[in-house]
Amino acid sequence: MALLDLRDVRKTYHLGEVDLPVLKGVTLAIEKGELVALMGASGSGKSTLMNILGCLDHPTSGEYWLDGREISGASTDERAMLRNDLIGFVFQNFNLLTRTSALDNVTMPLNYARVALHETAMRARAEKLLRLVGLEERMDHHPSQLSGGQQQRVAIARALVNQPRLLLADEPTGNLDSRTTEEILQMFRRLNETEGLTVILVTHDPNVADHAKRVIRIRDGLIEDQNAAVAAQLDWP
Amino acid sequence: MKSYRIMATALRALRRNIMRAALTTLGIVIGVAAVIAMMEIGRGSSLAIQRTIATMGANNVLIFPGNAAAAGVSFGAGSILTLTPSDAEAIVADCPSVAAAAPIVRARTQLVYGNRNWVPNTINGTTPSYLDVRDWKASEGVAFTDHDVRNASKVCMVGQTIVRELFNGESPVGREVRLQNVTFKIVGVLAGKGANMMGQDQDDIVIAPWTTLKYRVTGSSATTAANQGTTVVASSSLPSQVYPNAQLSLYSTPSSVQQADTPAPVRFANIDQIVVAARSAELIAPAMDEITSLLRERHHLKPDAPEDFIIRDLTEITKTMSSTSELMTKLLLIVAMISLVVGGVGIMNIMLVSVTERTREIGLRMAVGAQASDILRQFLAEAVVLCLIGGSVGILLGRATSLIVSLTLHWPTATSLGAIIAAVAVSAGVGVIFGYYPAWKASRLDPIEALRYE
């Protein structure tokens, strides 16, 4: 069974009297271990789909199966728990806590875990992840003392700290220069290949999408194209 | 999320913006400091006022002998002789609400010094406790002692009016005055008290040991004095003391019938009044109950028998006193509440700003799995921590202020544990009450909106 399975998902916003359908029946399956790019122009429903995939929002109708559970009807608190258990988020603007060390930033989600870890275990796990993203020298640095790429790497470590099934990256390279973009994307690929992590890159940048093994294009609230392979994949080193 | 984690998170969040946290908590610091300082200074002043009123006799309870009645005719208060000096001693010893008690024997006679004479308003025979009961000090010289009372020494203290009338304001200490041909040596002068509430001059007074006044001045009789002397002589020359080893008895011991037939001369030791000082104004009523039951027992009164003494308090003065202190307390409470509410509103203000400013952080925390209740508790914890820190600093500051005031201005202050406990409780309460709305607002945020917030 697919890790993530959307069946005829619709989302309609109500703006006063007017109904505004944003997703008009999305059917989509993503297997465990995939590296997927979700592409679409602004206003295409890309962000709404991402919010639903990330359990931040619930669909108006349709089914959403995540890790073998149907969760389209989950309550706010249940969704919070699902996010904590299953999903790691990476944002365009990093969203790190200011004046807080990289280490504390990474351990932060563990505070909300259902199974509370001991302080030392939390620390050990965060240190391991910071080492994984190559920041073992900067664990005590505050975000303001880190470059954009380093900040995004802290954010990736934070997304991984709960050992999620799914890493959801929303324009992860939107605020980075081309060289760091390459670094971060390499990191996603490495995580995907060595750890078997399922990654969804939400982007409008074709260069970023080129790194994915599969590109899903959304347009006007509908999946336009979900080709299994990308030409660029052949060029991977 | 465990409570210590919530606390740790709250502390970390506050540390991230230490300056703002400090400024926010300043409202509570000042509020609590004001409460503590006001309470301590106020309680000090209130105690000082109460002490002043107490010198007017607010704590005093007066006991008079009862009235005799025969065939339906009452002879008025004091017409039976029921109170004794040992009653006064027993009251001090056995009544826990009583601070001091003094027996009083009254006299009214002429006081002569040299070629001058004067009839004092009050001549009281009493014990040194009288000065404690009336909260009266010697302005010059010393008070007579218990020893003087036992020996019926011919010593006395005089009030300011006597000094003026008989001595032209010169120091009378060491001089001798006569009361009905008995010569008294003046050992001390009482401090000025002025007129009492009835306009009676309280400084027009002579006090002397009650034994002296009773047995040498008012009730002097040769037989009692002589008997006193012979008893002493006889007791020191008992055969057993003269001949310690001899077992002989010079006189046969009288039988109980003989003893009853020839009673030893009784020395009447009835007194006119006992004045009692309760430990505080609140303890007047318990003191009166204790004294009543003690005296009933001592006077062997049957449960249904009427009392053979009259006990009174100075209700009017006592009421003044309790209403004064009540007013002070209420005033202080209002001032305290206002400053704490102001501090609380300050906290709410800053917490609301903080929620807006940290919208993205809240969104992030929710995105990584914080539930609404986690966010609510975190912000509530921040507010409470702020208030508690403010409260602790405020207590120190308040105590320091009252200390400085008492050291520099010499105002009386009194430590008030109640105020400290109340201040801590109220500051935590203010934290919860004024922190709740911002925290609730934060927990209601939509993570999608919050993450997008600029």
pLDDT, tens only, B9-37? 888 888 888 888 888 888 888 888 888 88
Best of A50, A58, A95 to substitute, by most chain B Cβ atoms within 10 angstroms, is A95
- Residue pair A151/A144 in contact by the 8 Å Cβ criterion: no
Chain Cα centroid distance, residue B233: 46
Tokens representing A2 are 């697919």
Closest to A81 in 3D by CA, of A35, A114, A110, A106: A114
DSSP state letters, chain A: --SEEEEEEEEEEEETTEEEEEEEEEEEEE-TT-EEEEE--TTSSHHHHHHHHTTSS--SEEEEEETTEE-TT--HHHHHHHHHHHEEEE-TT--PPTTS-HHHHHHGGGGG-SSPPPHHHHHHHHHHHHHHTT-GGGTT--GGGS-HHHHHHHHHHHHHTT--SEEEEESTTTTS-HHHHHHHHHHHHHHHHHS--EEEEEES-HHHHTTSSEEEEEETTEEEEEES--GGGGG--
The chain B residues in contact with chain A (CB within 8 A) are 1-2, 5, 9, 12, 16-17, 360-361, 363-374, 447-448, 451
What string of H, E and C letters represents the secondary structure of A92-117?
CCCCCCCCCCHHHHHHHHHHHCCCCC
Exposed, middle or buried, A65 (CB in 10 Å: 0-12/13-18/19+)? middle
pLDDT digits (tens, 9 = 90+) for B97-145: 999 999 999 888 889 998 889 999 889 999 999 998 888 889 989 999 9
Cite the beta strand spans of B286-327 per DSSP E.
309-313
Q: Distance between CA atoms of B161 and B304, rounded to whole angstroms?
A: 47
pLDDT surpasses 80 at A67: yes
Length of chain A (residues): 237
Query: What pLDDT, on a 0 to 100 scale, did the predictor assign at position B1?
Result: 59
Compute φ and ψ for B245, nearest 5 degrees.
-90, -20
Query: What pLDDT, on a 0 to 100 scale, did the predictor assign at position B30?
Result: 84
Per CB-CB distance under 8 Å, the chain B contacts of A84 are 368-369
B254-290: string of b/e by CB count within 10 Å (b at 16+)?
A: eeeeeeeeeeeeeeebbbbbbbbbbbbbebbeebbeb
DSSP letter at B281 equals: G
- Whether A112 sits inside 8 A of B370 (CB atoms) is yes
pLDDT surpasses 50 at B324: yes
- Whether A111 sits inside 8 A of B372 (CB atoms) is no
A116 Cβ under 8 Å from any chain B Cβ: yes
pLDDT digits (tens, 9 = 90+) for B437-449: 999 999 999 998 8
Q: Kindly report the number of other CB atoms within 10 A of residue B86's CB atom.
A: 13
Q: Distance between CA atoms of B329 and B341, rounded to whole angstroms?
A: 18
Query: What pLDDT, on a 0 to 100 scale, did the predictor assign at position A237?
Result: 43
For chain B, the C-alpha Rg in angstroms (whole number) is 35
pLDDT surpasses 90 at B313: no
Interface of A with B in 49-78 (CB under 8 A): 51, 54, 56-57, 76-77
pLDDT digits (tens, 9 = 90+) for A85-141: 999 999 998 999 988 899 999 999 998 888 888 889 999 999 999 999 999 899 999
Name which of A22-26, A78-82, B168-172, B240-244 the model is least confident about: B240-244
- Whether B364 sits inside 8 A of A97 (CB atoms) is yes
Tokens representing A45 are 């429903």
Q: Kindly report the number of other CB atoms within 10 A of residue B448's CB atom.
A: 18
Q: Distance between CA atoms of B188 and B182, rounded to whole angstroms?
A: 18
Compute φ and ψ for B115, nearest 5 degrees.
-100, 15
Compute φ and ψ for B257, nearest 5 degrees.
-65, -45
Query: What pLDDT, on a 0 to 100 scale, did the predictor assign at position B225?
Result: 37
Query: What is the pTM for the complete model shown?
Result: 0.66
Q: Distance between CA atoms of A215 and B43, rounded to whole angstroms?
A: 78
Per CB-CB distance under 8 Å, the chain A contacts of B366 are 80
**Residue with token string 């002579």:** B206
pLDDT surpasses 50 at B228: no
Exposed, middle or buried, A194 (CB in 10 Å: 0-12/13-18/19+)? exposed
Using CA coordinates, name the residue in chain B closest to A95.
B364
Beta strand pairing call for A4-15 and A61-66: antiparallel
The C-alpha angle A138, A141, A144, rounded to 5 degrees, equals 125
Tokens representing B380 are 């509530």
Share of chain B above pLDDT 70, in %: 89
Per CB-CB distance under 8 Å, the chain A contacts of B11 are none
Using CA coordinates, name the residue in chain A closest to B366.
A80
Q: Distance between CA atoms of B427 and B436, rounded to whole angstroms?
A: 14
Q: Distance between CA atoms of A237 and A233, rounded to whole angstroms?
A: 9
Q: What Cα–Cα distance (Å) separates residue B127 from each residue in A89, B236, B432?
A: 90, 27, 60
Closest to A83 in 3D by CA, of A164, A4, A142: A164
pLDDT digits (tens, 9 = 90+) for B55-107: 777 788 889 888 777 777 777 666 677 888 889 999 999 999 999 999 999 88
Q: Distance between CA atoms of B214 and B201, rounded to whole angstroms?
A: 24
pLDDT surpasses 50 at B359: yes
Mean residue pLDDT of chain B comes to 82
pLDDT surpasses 80 at B236: no
- Whether B16 sits inside 8 A of A116 (CB atoms) is no
Q: Distance between CA atoms of A23 and B128, rounded to whole angstroms?
A: 100
Chain Cα centroid distance, residue A9: 19
For residues A46-57, average pLDDT: 91
Q: Distance between CA atoms of B160 and B191, rounded to whole angstroms?
A: 7
B62 pairs with which residues across the strands? B275, B312
Q: Kindly report the number of other CB atoms within 10 A of residue B253's CB atom.
A: 7
The more confident residue out of B411 and A222 is: A222
pLDDT surpasses 80 at B320: no
Query: What pLDDT, on a 0 to 100 scale, did the predictor assign at position B246?
Result: 54
- Residue pair B172/B166 in contact by the 8 Å Cβ criterion: yes
Query: What pLDDT, on a 0 to 100 scale, did the predictor assign at position B112?
Result: 92
pLDDT tier at B226, thresholds 50, 70, 90: very low
pLDDT tier at A64, thresholds 50, 70, 90: very high
Name which of A19-28, A227-236, B322-331, B337-346 the model is least confident about: A227-236
